[in-house]
Every structure is written in C-alpha cells, then in structure tokens.
Amino acid sequence: MLSDGRGFVFAALLALLFIAVPAEAQDSVRDLVVKIHTTRREPDLVRPWTRQNPVNVSGSGIVIDGKRILTNAHMVQNASQIYVQPNQSPEKYLARVIAIAEPVDLALLSIDDESFFEKRAYLEFADDLPRVKDAVSVYGFPTGGTELSVTEGIVSRIEFTGFYQFTHGLRIQVDAALNPGNSGGPVVSRGKLVGIVFSNIPNAQSIGYVIPIEEVRLFLDDITDGTYDGKPQLHDRFQTVENDTLRKRLGLAKGVGGLMVAEPYSSESNYPLKEWDVITAIGGKTIDSDGKVSVRYDLRLSALYLVQKYAKDGMLDVTIERGGAPLQMRIPVARQRQLVVPYLRNRSPRYFIYGPLVFCAATQEYIEKLGSQWELFHTRAGNPLILRRFDKPSFPGEEMVVVCSPMLPHPITKGYDDPNNYVVSEVDGVAIKNLKQMVEVLRDGKNADVTFKFARMTNRNREDMVFNRRAMIAATEDLLKDFGIRYQFSDDLRPVWEVAQKH
C-alpha cells in the first residue's frame, strides 16, 4: 500500500484517466443514438374505409452509414408522422420511412434536413456475430425517464429461430435490462454495432432479444432496389432424423445426419424435393442428426441458417439422400411463403361496399383481430377462413373474400341473419376467386336481382341472400352518406368498378 500522500496522488491520476478516455469513447456512441417519436394510425380491419384513432409511441434508433437511421419496423409501421430527436437536444427532425421489413422487424429512416448529420458520423458494424458471454452495452430511451439510458450485460444465447410471418432468422439473447422504449436501440460491443433491440420477454427480468448485424446486412442488401423482397428460405416442412427406426426406413448409414422432408412446399411434379428426401448438406456444409450445423467452434445453429448464406439467384445447392442413394441438386428458394390469406405488410385493407355488405380480401391481421375464442368457434364450425388460413393458393390469384364488417343497418336486410365473417362462395352463380373478380361480377350483372352464397359451415345455418340490384345501388349511396364513408372501394378497385360508368 502507498503511503505519505503518494496513494492519494496515484488515485487522482487514475480517476482522471478513466474520466478522459472512456467517457469520450462512450459519448461517440451516445451522439448517434436518437429517440423516435411516432404517431401511428393502424388500419381499422372491421371498418376498412377508415383508420383507428392516432396513438403516440416512442422508441430508439441509431445513425448508420449513408445518412440513415436504423430502427424497428414495429416502431414506424402505419405511421402518419415520425420525428427523430438527438440525444441531449430539444430539437425534433421530421423523418420518413425509406424501407420497412415487418418479417424481420427492421426499418430505415431518412431525414430531409441535412444539418442533422453535419456533426455526426455513424456507428460501424461489427464484422461477425458476438460470442456467448461477450459484454454488451444497450443504448435507448426506455420508459421511466426522458434521458438516454445505457445498460450493461452479456450475450447469453445465439440461435436461428422464427421471427414473424413465416420468416426465420438469427436472434441474440442478452441479459441486459430492456424495457418498452428500448426498441430499435443499438447494442454495442467493443465500440461496434452488434445488433439492435427488438423485444423483451414479458414477466422476465433482464432478458431481451437483439437482431444481429448479419440480419441487418441482409435487409440493407435486399432494399438496394428500393423494395424489400424478403429473405431466401425453404418453406418445406422438415423433421430431424434422430429416431433409429426412422433412420432404418430412410436407409441412412451410421453417422449420416440431415433434415427429412416431411411435406414438400409444392406438390408439382417438377418440384425437386419429395417426401422422405433427406437434405444431408447445404452449400457443402454437413448437417448432423438433430438438424444443426457447426458455424464455428462455439456455435451450432439450425441447418436452415445456411439457406440465407448460400442461396444465390433464387437457387440453393444441396446434397440429399433418396432411398439410401446420395444426389446433388439445386433447389428453388422463396422469399415469401404464398398464402391464400396473406399478411397486410404495412398496406391498407382492400375492401368493397355494396349495399349493407362490406367485403374484404381476408388477411392474417383480420383473423388475429377477431381473437382466439372466435377462431376456436369457427374452427369447430368449419369456416374455411380458419381451415385454410395457412394454405397456399389453389390457383394464381386466389384469395378469400369475407364479409369483414357487421351488416350496415338498412331496411333492405329485413329477415336476413348477419353474414359477418362468412366467406363468399358465389355471386349470381359465379364462383368467386378473389375480390377484384367479385367486383367485376357485380359490375357486369344484368339480372334484376343479385344473389350471394357463402361457404358452408358444419354447425351454422348458412343463408343465401337475394337483393334487388337497383335497391342495392341506392342503399349503397344512402349508407355511404349516413356513415360518412368517402369511397365505396379501396384505391385498387376504383378503376375496376368505374369502368362501367365510362360507357
């Protein structure tokens, strides 16, 4: 121990060292973190001609190269206005979304006022995934205060798992404290950006999830053409080949692992993968018996992680075993899973109002809005809206047309039950393929009456509905005025319906 005052001098010098160097390094990150203020108006899925009341939310973002700000998609989707507020500043800059990817929860913002970037550089990306137990700092503006918060933690897990909308990706788990408002904030290790916050675990202490830089790079590469197309993926259903009896059935030799195709994504004869095929390698990387690959000495991930690394021009090189014989082949990858009930993906609902009936193209968000109890009831009832929810379209352009709103009140509906949530099967004897085609059928109809039929359900009476055509057109005008509805249709259907008015 130092004595005679030398200990005091040494301690003072040490304190000055820690004040001068680390604080300056930390401030370089602090100046690049921003608070994002968003006013969001979500689509009203039951009244598709309008939007819900505005809601103000706040979160975080980080300045990256190219004078851009990276944040979460859920922070800015359906935003009517976005402001970016620098750390330690009262000024707010108007921002706009230049790219958004809901499936991986990433969005990119720009600011038209170039003065924002005059004294700001950008935070560099880490070159590789962090390692478990690496120390990280999480920056953001969580609830509970107005100033920038910095919390410390470590990387506790890295995995390749499901994100949103049938998309899989890398996810880092950290044990730093994360709260609402941290969303979109940077996670930094050794002075570089390793990822951004995108969620935490409710009712769990100090556990949160981070989107790693590898996923961010894929997003940025994807949007160079101005459009987010999605990640290359295999949408077949797979299972592991650990079971001894199953391995014998497949003819797999000892030590051969892989992923077995339980259900091919396509049943077309020209689709290369067949039921019972086993993918044993992707891009030359061998898959083990529980469907994983060694990425580095300290990290094993699902073999499906290799798809995004080795897919090129929509194709992927794989090795399979079929009937005990190895085969080399190239298989197609898809950027989005085709669904007969698609996701909105930051778009407005498509709708058409005809008399008291409001029709929509069914979406996943619409079903989610109805709730689990409704879903359970309609599953038992055999409603195709639920039974076919995750099916592929049976033919190009197929979509389900649903009565998406309670029947609007009008005397013309006397004696009819409300067909709310029913799927339209026929109009005037014509099978309905999609919303646009249904509008064309109504537009071109010549009969005095118009007849609607709905898909049958097992434990509910399904009524056919017949209306006088002229009365329906008149009722449409009355109801649009009564409810203050500006347009009878969504923008995409205007040219379809108004064709008839031009002739």
DSSP state letter for 491: G
Mapped onto helix, strand or coil, the DSSP state of residue 17 is: helix
Whose tokens are 């301690």? That residue is 11
Start-to-end Cα distance in the chain: 100
Gap between the Cα atoms of 121 and 63, Å rounded: 8
Give me the phi and psi of 290, to 5 degrees please.
-105, 25
Answer yes or no: are the C-beta atoms of 359 and 438 closer than 8 Å: yes
Pairing of strands 278-282, 285-286: antiparallel
Half-sphere exposure of 387 (CA within 13 A, CB side): 13
Catalytic residue (choose from 37, 74, 168, 378) = 74
378 is known as an active-site residue: no
Gap between the Cα atoms of 107 and 342, Å rounded: 21
372 is known as an active-site residue: no
Nearest one of 162, 169, 211 to 186, comparing CA atoms: 211
Mapped onto helix, strand or coil, the DSSP state of residue 221 is: helix
Gap between the Cα atoms of 456 and 463, Å rounded: 9
Nearest one of 483, 363, 482, 356 to 417, comparing CA atoms: 356
Nearest one of 140, 146, 66 to 109, comparing CA atoms: 66
Answer yes or no: are the C-beta atoms of 293 and 310 closer than 8 Å: no
> Which tokens is 14 given?
């040490």
CA of residue 429 relative to chain centroid, distance:
37
Gap between the Cα atoms of 464 and 462, Å rounded: 7
Catalytic residue (choose from 183, 302, 405, 490) = 183
Gap between the Cα atoms of 78 and 53, Å rounded: 12
Active site residues: 74, 183
